[in-house]
């Protein structure tokens, strides 16, 4: 029998999205899985509708966020693998079997992501993860198939099951035994970047993260917060700073933080120049709140560089994109990728 899989969907006032996307999940062609929906206190009729579906419903009294909701779902299940799946994702019939097949090739593979394509234009990658995520030396995330706002068409250029630094929480298969070792999602982050932190901890513990290119899902995107919204920018910048602090040794932190500040100052100035002051203010607030919160992460930090698993890209993705004009993942210099990420076709 195939390994048991629990597909966990966290939803908050997402009835319309569930009605659009859940039928495809229910039609998944895999013989040993369950669907668990964690409802974060919806008032739009979601709970009533879900009671009529073939799912296990875990209603919560309040909004626990992405992290808290998924952690409830993980704790309430006992399967070999869990999948974190956004409520605005439609799946192909074989999406789950391909994820499990990839994870089963090596016991050290702890996380696997499908190709994430745009729901409206299924020839294009989608912003949230595309063909697998990476991280530069100052904590800026990017992905195979997506650098900043430049999103590629899927032309088979990422059709190999390559190592990736992080897998998107929009559709993410996780090995339960690895979660038992490294812990669940960090609820201090609440939402955004939490999957990057988890994948970073998995790599640190000796596991790996992979793309399963034969698995495909279709993401609507922006269901919780629209891309480019000040609130989304706030969480992305705040949590990115906290992750950099959490995973950087004290001796290395001053230099990395200085580099990061210089780049983020440019982002603030850009927001003012293009007459989007709310974006600039979101970044300023993110810095202020990250400073207040960082002490709570002191116990998680590595003691020295030897104990640190470094980000996949040793350089600045912002410099490559904005100053050198390299707009596609394949245009980036291979020598800047570290360790298992240097061979980007394996």
SS3 track for 158-184 = CCCCCECCECCCCEEEEEHHHHHHHCC
pLDDT at 319 over 90: yes
Q: Are residues 55 and 127 in the same domain?
A: yes
Provide the pLDDT for residue 346: 43
Express each pLDDT in 144-154 by its tens digit: 999 999 999 99
Cα separation, 35 vs 275, in Å, equals 45
pLDDT grade for 309, boundaries at 50, 70 and 90: confident
- Tokens matching residue 111: 């996380």
Q: Are residues 212 and 247 in the same domain?
A: no
Cα separation, 228 vs 95, in Å, equals 29
343 within domain boundaries = no
Tokens 């088979």 belong to residue: 156
Contact 311, 199 (CB under 8 A): no
Cα separation, 73 vs 7, in Å, equals 9
Query: What DSSP state is assigned to residue 223?
Result: S
Q: Are residues 73 and 97 in the same domain?
A: yes
Provide the pLDDT for residue 191: 85
Of the candidates 101, 105, 94, 78, the one whose C-alpha atom is nearest the C-alpha of residue 2 is 101
pLDDT at 344 over 70: no
235 within domain boundaries = yes
Provide the pLDDT for residue 308: 82
Q: Are residues 100 and 180 in the same domain?
A: yes
Please, which residues bridge with residue 39 across strands? 11, 59
Please state, rounded to an integer, the average pLDDT across all residues of the chain: 95
Q: Are residues 25 and 131 in the same domain?
A: yes
Provide the pLDDT for residue 305: 75
Provide the Cα torsion 46, 49, 50, 51; round to 10°: 130
Q: Are residues 234 and 202 in the same domain?
A: no
Count of structural domains within the chain: 2
Among residues 189, 219, 249, the one where a domain terminates is 219
**Where do runs of H (alpha helix) occur along the chain?**
15-26, 46-50, 65-75, 95-103, 176-182, 194-204, 230-246, 253-273, 277-293, 317-318
Q: Is the dihedral of CA 166, 223, 294, 179 positive or negative?
A: negative
Express each pLDDT in 252-274 by its tens digit: 999 999 999 999 999 999 889 88
Q: Are residues 259 and 154 in the same domain?
A: no
85 within domain boundaries = yes
327 within domain boundaries = no
Q: Are residues 44 and 151 in the same domain?
A: yes
More confident position, 24 or 310: 24
Provide the pLDDT for residue 342: 85
124 within domain boundaries = yes
Q: Which residues span the domain enclosing 82?
A: 5-219
> What's the average model confidence in pLDDT over 302-328?
91
Q: Residue 301 CB: number of other CB atoms within 10 A? A: 16
pLDDT at 293 over 70: yes
195 within domain boundaries = yes
Express each pLDDT in 63-107 by its tens digit: 999 999 999 999 999 999 999 999 999 999 999 999 999 999 999
Q: Are residues 164 and 294 in the same domain?
A: no
Q: What is the CATH number of the domain that holds 181?
A: 3.90.550.10
Provide the pLDDT for residue 229: 83
Q: Are residues 166 and 255 in the same domain?
A: no
Q: Are residues 196 and 288 in the same domain?
A: no
Express each pLDDT in 139-192 by its tens digit: 999 999 999 999 999 999 999 999 999 999 999 999 999 999 999 999 999 888
Among residues 185, 219, 253, the one where a domain terminates is 219
pTM of the entire structure?
0.95
Express each pLDDT in 203-253 by its tens digit: 999 999 999 999 999 999 865 555 668 999 999 999 999 999 999 999 999
The 3 state secondary structure assigned to 179-211 is HHHHCCCCCCCCCCCHHHHHHHHHHHCCCEEEE
Q: Are residues 244 and 281 in the same domain?
A: yes
């Amino acid at each position: 029998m195939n390994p048991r899989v629990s597909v966990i969907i966290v939803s908050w006032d997402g009835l319309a999205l569930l009605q659009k996307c859940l039928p495809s999940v229910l039609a998944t062609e895999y013989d040993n899985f369950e669907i668990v929906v964690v409802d974060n206190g919806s008032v739009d009729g979601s709970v009533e509708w879900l009671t009529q579906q073939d799912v296990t419903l875990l209603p919560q009294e309040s909004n626990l966020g992405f992290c808290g909701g998924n952690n409830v779902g993980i704790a309430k299940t006992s399967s070999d693998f869990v999948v974190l799946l956004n409520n605005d994702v439609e799946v192909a019939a074989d999406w789950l079997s391909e994820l499990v097949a990839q994870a089963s090739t090596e016991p050290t593979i702890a996380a696997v992501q499908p190709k994430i394509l745009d729901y409206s234009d299924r020839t294009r990658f989608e912003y949230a993860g595309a063909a697998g995520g990476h991280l530069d030396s100052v904590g800026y995330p990017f992905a195979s198939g997506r650098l900043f706002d430049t999103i590629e068409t899927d032309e088979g250029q990422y059709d190999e099951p390559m190592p990736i630094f992080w897998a998107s929480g929009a559709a993410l298969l996780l090995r339960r035994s690895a979660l038992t070792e490294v812990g669940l999602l960090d609820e201090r982050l609440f939402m955004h970047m939490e999957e990057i932190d988890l994948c970073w901890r998995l790599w640190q513990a000796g596991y790996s993260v992979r793309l399963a290119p034969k698995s495909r899902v279709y993401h609507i995107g922006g269901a919780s917060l629209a891309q480019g919204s000040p609130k989304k920018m706030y969480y992305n910048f705040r949590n990115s700073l906290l992750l950099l602090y959490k995973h950087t040794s004290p001796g290395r932190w001053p230099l990395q933080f200085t580099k990061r500040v210089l780049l983020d100052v440019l982002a603030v100035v850009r927001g003012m120049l293009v007459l989007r002051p709310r974006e600039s203010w979101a970044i300023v607030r993110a810095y202020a709140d990250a400073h207040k919160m960082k002490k709570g992460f002191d116990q998680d930090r590595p003691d020295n560089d030897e104990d640190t698993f470094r980000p996949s890209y040793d350089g600045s993705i912002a410099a490559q994109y904005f100053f050198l004009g390299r707009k596609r993942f394949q245009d980036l210099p291979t020598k800047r990728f570290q360790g298992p990420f240097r061979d980007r076709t394996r």
